[in-house]
Amino acid sequence: MPRAQQLNKAVFLDRDGTLIHDRPGHYLSRPEDLRVYKNAPAALALLQKHGFKLFIVSNQSGVGRGYFTGKTARAINARLESLFKKRGVKITETVFCPHAPDAGCSCRKPAPLMGERLIRRYKLSPPVCYMAGDKKSDAQFGRNLGFSTIFVKTGHGAAQLKKHGGKVADRVTADILSAAKWIIKHEIPD
């Protein structure tokens, strides 16, 4: 596959409950409390090895609710990127919506605005992109962008599956490493 085509494919990743531990009912408001899932670095390294750009796309309503600041959210994201970098994984970019659910913004997942901006900025090809997350809104976000979607059972995943039924995404996997392996095995040819 020509290198130019490889640069157009990407995996978009939800943060809380997909890459890091998410405690239901609590907001991660301190960088030092961040806990990466044990297999997340290996999953992202595998995707990176196969030529995927990696993006973290997250709703951070704790900012809009006043639980922590945008500066704190950026510090948490910077720490996460640093932890991955130490394991040889480069996150291309991390973006987040800082608004509360009732703010009526156009950037909160499942609305596609954050993804559309990244697609334009990095000249991504949606048919060869994927979205992985633990909530129905993550899968809908991916669908809204024309991506294949993977739902992980970590974080809120198990409860969301029970609530919305088994068909919330194109594929349901146990965790992010299983999702990465599925993506590599079933990669859409470009």
Q: Is 22 a catalytic residue?
A: no
**What's the rounded Cα separation, in Å, for the pair 41 and 46?**
9
- Angle at CA 92, nearest 5°, toward 142 and 7? 75
**What's the rounded Cα separation, in Å, for the pair 62 and 49?**
34
* Structure token digits, residue 10: 């990407």
Q: Is 170 a catalytic residue?
A: no
CB 159 within 8 A of CB 41: no
Catalytic residue among 16, 22, 138, 175: 16
**What's the rounded Cα separation, in Å, for the pair 13 and 33?**
20
Q: Are strands 129-133 and 148-152 parallel, antiparallel or unpaired?
A: parallel
Catalytic residue among 14, 22, 134, 175: 14
What residues are labeled active site? 14, 16
